[in-house]
Structure 1
């Protein structure tokens, strides 16, 4: 993976690709994007002392633990209104989140009054009126069963700046946006956030025999499964993917089409599927080998044939990383998970890394020596109710790379190392949780 990471790094981290775009914090699809700049809190959070619950603001010196006492009700402070000063020897009703009246140092829950609720303590508002209720000046509130803890200064008060002080860094460049971070930016009054552009990829369908889904097939032709598979896979990795076709087995034609598409889409990453083995009509290999793309085979099944490299920058465009995957859909999907995903995740914070888990094999497994096999498997019911037990998996089909239906059923790819020629039932192995699947 080291060579692949180097190739991707040269294209993804090219200074010509740097920059950011300002998006509203309510923009759909922001979760998972990467911040392009630090964000500093311009104001404290909360911005003012406020009540932690519905209750009564008071001076702790006006009340005594264990002693029932009544205080005149000097006002009602709903959330979102300005708070008046609190007269000495009085109390004010405050709602959750309402600003604390000046002079108060405790909030006493409404439950610690003889009434137990606001219903009988406060007059009802006129439905047509605005602002807090009027006519409260002759009312009083009786507190009962107060403890020393209830009257400790600061009780049930959220002080200004108790969450964040003004000047604190609340988001750093390179951090991934989460729902909580977006909520924090909004709470601080930030309407927009600067994010890095998503990695831009071009997925290229190749081969004279490949046709779009929905088209009528002639003998020897097949529908293109790789393009939707790769598009969905790359999107799940935080990549902005575009699809195009260069369905020609003529090397000169294919080369010209690739150049035109690169100019049109300006991708950082070009991903192809098929046309890279040792056959006579392997147009991808025949065309791109002269552009510095290396082709060969790795000790992995499915996904042995691979190609990657860098189309250097020229005066018209920055460098483009090229990843050439095998043509069989399962080989393509496995390569995306085992090679491209970890390399991207090491460079791009918006790309989730592979989700590796430990599993128990429900049955004995045989694997070829000298290669790392990734076998499709699905979760099976555990043999015990022990919550600490590893998930049990049962293989789906064999190792062949054309079994796409079996991949669609699978939950994980079980990793069998080069030495795992005979693995007994009950053995523990690592597995990759497939995108869209959940642990049982």
Structure 2
């Protein structure tokens, strides 16, 4: 019996790889069976079903049979778990048995690996792991495949078990993650929940922007390509937090008097020295002179005739800042992927950082398609509408922190669109299109991506929206957004925004929503996640009067979105809903 395993730690992608391998290998005409090892109690039939009732009543084995399939359920009832060999012996003859799990058994295996899980590889210490399928490049003593290159992995396994001759192309280290199939859905998946779609984007996209060294003051709005360490401590020396008088040590109860030394210590002065038992005038931010470790507020003293008088107690170290209490020299102060804002610029300056490694801004091209569109300012004939999507999307891209590139409007003409996409691929990192992304006669975006072998139409369980065309054009990711402006904006906020943040090197960005009471009634059906145009008034979320996706005015009326999950709900005023402000998508 030919067997081959797929192993990996939790969330490494082994189940998805198994699913794709079964589809790939059976698609070549081979017969395949699978064995899945579960590390927990599992069930395969539902309470109340006849077979379940038989087992619960005490049957050792229940054979469930129909004209379509049969299944044998065997209760161990405390007996030792059978070895893998015993399970394999139960299977009918096939060309290949693929095994998920059983990583400690001695059969040959491929290890699935995702870098973001942070788990170590099994392969280095296990010779039964004959190859690794990874989402990042690895240098190893055995073949490494792109985790999404199902054909190459299948070739390797089939050759290993003797079902095909050696693959024509030798295994190499994993290529860059962005490939023509990076948006491919698992076999058999045609309707994608929102969270699954987001997980797919998160797993398959990676930073594409290059790094450059720039002066720190020019870093505003940019993304760090590398961690930044402090050049100097902040504060560099112990200093005073208030205007007052400094001396050594604390003081107990009662009246205290001490002579004042001439002069003062102000911010920027070079600290001198203060003799023991004497005090000096200090101003906020001044480095503490030698012999001073405590400061009393000027409002709490009298200073006459060269003598300082105050009542205790005063704690030693009061009203002072220690050197490096904010930042230590050599400490990582900002991590790679951080977007630089005003606070980060202040921190860079305080830590003495003059230059930083920054990612180039992600260049995002925006194209509108359709014969019905005209530009603002042009005369519109009957049946024509003004292009609302392009100015909206260009501003959204800029608000996301990327470089927006206006690629203009293209009529419903395949050759013209092809030329525009060719030109765009040479100058931008991502392309956003609106319209022409479905499957109609004039949907040229999807037609061209399909012709290029890089088209995936994700039917997402979302309202408004649903169809989202994803593909690659000459190595550049293309997001085919709906033509309806409301759906185009919602899909941009929910799907394109976090995807572009990853491509820009900023990392996956979750919008920050919060629970609020509703100020509306709504009966929602189960099945799709819905986003309602909403705003906050008097502590409650109001929604736009119409849910019609053609009502563009609702986008401006709103201040954000109310998110309703896939479950059915009957919402009444006062019920809790999740509100996501527009600003959460752009911060």
Q: Which residue of 2 aligns with 1:54?
A: 243
Is the deviation greater in 80-89 or in 229-238?
A: 80-89
Asked if the contact 1:74/1:91 (under 8 Å) is kept, the reply is no
2:302 counterpart SS class? coil
**Residue 294 (structure 1) aligns with:** 456
Among candidates 27, 31, 37, match of residue 226 of structure 2: 37
* Conserved? CA contact 1:412–1:431, under 8 Å: yes
Higher relative CO (CA 8 A, sep ≥ 6), structure 1 or 2?
1
Partner residue, 2:162: none
What is the root-mean-square deviation of aligned Cα atoms in Å?
A: 3.0
Q: Give me the TM-score of the superposition, normalised by structure 2.
A: 0.60
- Tell me if 1:248 matches 2:411: yes
Larger deviation, residues 52-61 vs 42-51: 52-61
Q: Number of matched residues?
A: 390
Classify the secondary structure of the residue corresponding to 2:267.
coil
Q: Which residue in the other structure is 1:272 paired with?
A: 433
- Which one of 351, 357, 363 corresponds to residue 520 of structure 2? 363
Residues 239-261 of structure 1: per-residue CA shift (max 9 Å, x gap) = 22211124221212211221022
Residues 1:262 and 2:425 aligned together: yes
What's 1:141 paired with?
307
Structure 2: how far apart are the matches of 1:184 and 1:77?
A: 25
Query: Shift in Å at residue 201 of structure 1?
Result: 0.9
Q: Is the 8 A contact 1:359 1:430 kept in 2?
A: yes
How far off its partner does 1:224 sit? Answer: 0.9
1:373 lines up with 2:514 in the alignment: no
Mapped partners of 2:458, 2:255: distance in 1: 86
Deviations 1:22-50 (A, max 9, x none): 1432x3x714x322222222322222222
Match of 2:465 in 1: 303
| 3-state secondary structure, aligned to 1:373 | strand
Q: Does 1:282 align with 2:443?
A: yes
The structural deviation recorded for 1:232 is 1.7
Deviates more, 1:421-430 or 1:372-381: 421-430
Conserved? CA contact 1:396–1:410, under 8 Å:
yes
Unpaired runs of at least 5, structure 2: 1-193
Shift of 1:271: 0.6
Shift of the 170–305 alpha-carbon distance from structure 1 to 2, 3 Å rule, reads closer
The Cα of 1:272 is off from its aligned counterpart by 0.2
Structure 2 CA distance for partners of 1:269 and 1:102, relative to 1, 3 Å: same
* Bigger Cα displacement from structure 2, 351-360 vs 3-12: 3-12
Does the aligned pair in 2 maintain the 1:237–1:352 contact within 8 Å?
Answer: no
Residues 318-367 of structure 1, C-alpha deviations (whole Å, 9 max, x = no match): x2111101111111111112322344456653774223333433333244
Question: Which residue, 187, 212, 232 being the options, matches 1:20?
Answer: 212
Cα distance in 2 for partners of 1:104, 1:51 equals 10
- Kindly state the Cα deviation for residue 203 of structure 1 after the two structures are TM-superposed: 0.7
Partner of 1:71: 259
**Does the C-alpha gap of structure 1 residues 429 and 23 become closer, same or farther in structure 2, counting only changes over 3 Å?**
same
Separation in structure 2 between the aligned mates of residue 216 and residue 351 of structure 1, nearest angstrom: 42
- Tell whether the 8 Å contact from 1:296 to 1:307 is kept in structure 2 after alignment: yes
Find the aligned partners of 1:154 and 1:244 in 2 and give their Cα distance: 62
User: Matched residues in 1 for 2:271 and 2:400: separation?
Assistant: 49
Task: Note the residue ranges of structure 1 that are not aligned, 5 or more in a row.
Answer: 116-120, 122-138, 313-318, 382-390
What's the CA shift string for 1:175-225, capped at 9, x where partnerless? 333433321211122233322223221111211221221222122221111
Aligned counterparts of 1:425 and 1:157: Cα–Cα separation in 2: 53
Q: Say if 2:332 is the partner of 1:204.
A: no
Q: 1:145 to 1:232 in 2, by over 3 A?
A: same
CA contact (8 A) 1:113 1:141 kept: no
Which range moved further: 174-183 or 417-426?
417-426
Alignment partner, residue 490 of structure 2: 334
Report the counterpart of residue 338 of structure 2 in structure 1.
175
Alignment check: 8 A CA contact 1:237 1:350 kept: no
Classify 1:400/1:110 alpha carbon distance in 2 versus 1 (closer, same or farther; 3 Å). closer
Q: Tell me how far 1:406 sits from its aligned partner.
A: 1.9
| Gap change, CA 1:5 and 1:373, over 3 Å in 2 | closer
Alignment of 1:102-113 (within 5 A): 102-113=290-301
Paired with 2:256 and 2:492, the residues of 1 have a C-alpha distance of 71
The structure-2 alpha-carbon separation of the partners of 1:104 and 1:416, relative to structure 1 and needing over 3 Å to count, comes to closer
Contact 2:234 2:324 in 1 (8 A): yes
Deviations 1:145-194 (A, max 9, x none): 132xx2x4433332323333322222222233343332121112223332
Contact persistence 1:12–1:268 (CA under 8 A): no
Q: Does structure 1 conserve the Cα–Cα contact (< 8 Å) formed by 2:240 and 2:288?
A: yes
Change (3 A) 1:42 1:212: same
- Pairing partner for 1:395 from 532, 543, 548: 543
Q: CA deviation at 1:303?
A: 0.8
TM-score (norm 1): 0.78
Question: 2: distance between equivalents of 1:106 and 1:36?
Answer: 42
- Asked whether the 8 Å contact 1:373–1:416 carries over to 2, the reply is yes
Name 1:163's counterpart in structure 2: 326
